[in-house]
Amino acid sequence: DPKIGQFRAHWRSDYHFNLNKVTHPFLFRMIAAYLDQGISIWSFPVEAKGFLDSVRRLHKESLSPIVRSKRAQSLLEKDQLELTELLEILVG
């Protein structure tokens, strides 16, 4: 049995705490792929100017959206959006 799965199930059933929702695993995978450019599975747009611009371009050019919520989509479409603003929302 996978220990990580048991750990997450224990936290969900005993503490009513969803680790997947709190840790944003998709965001962690995307950041890791961006940082590991040469060896990552996902390739990021070469012409992009930084992580946030890369995410915007991937979102616009993908067949299915990277983010699905209306709030996240409106934030990505915001021209003056900074990473610090997103981090403030994410971690406070």
Q: Which helix (H) or strand (E) holds 40?
A: none
Task: Express each pLDDT in 11-24 by its tens digit.
Answer: 889 988 887 777 77
Q: What is the pLDDT of residue 35?
A: 79
Task: Express each pLDDT in 30-59 by its tens digit.
Answer: 888 777 766 656 666 667 777 888 888 888
Q: What is the pLDDT of residue 41?
A: 61
Confidence bin at 90 (pLDDT 50/70/90)? confident
- 79-85 contacts, C-beta under 8 A, 24 or more apart: 81/52, 82/52, 83/51, 83/52
10 Å CB burial of residue 55 (0-12, 13-18, 19+) is buried
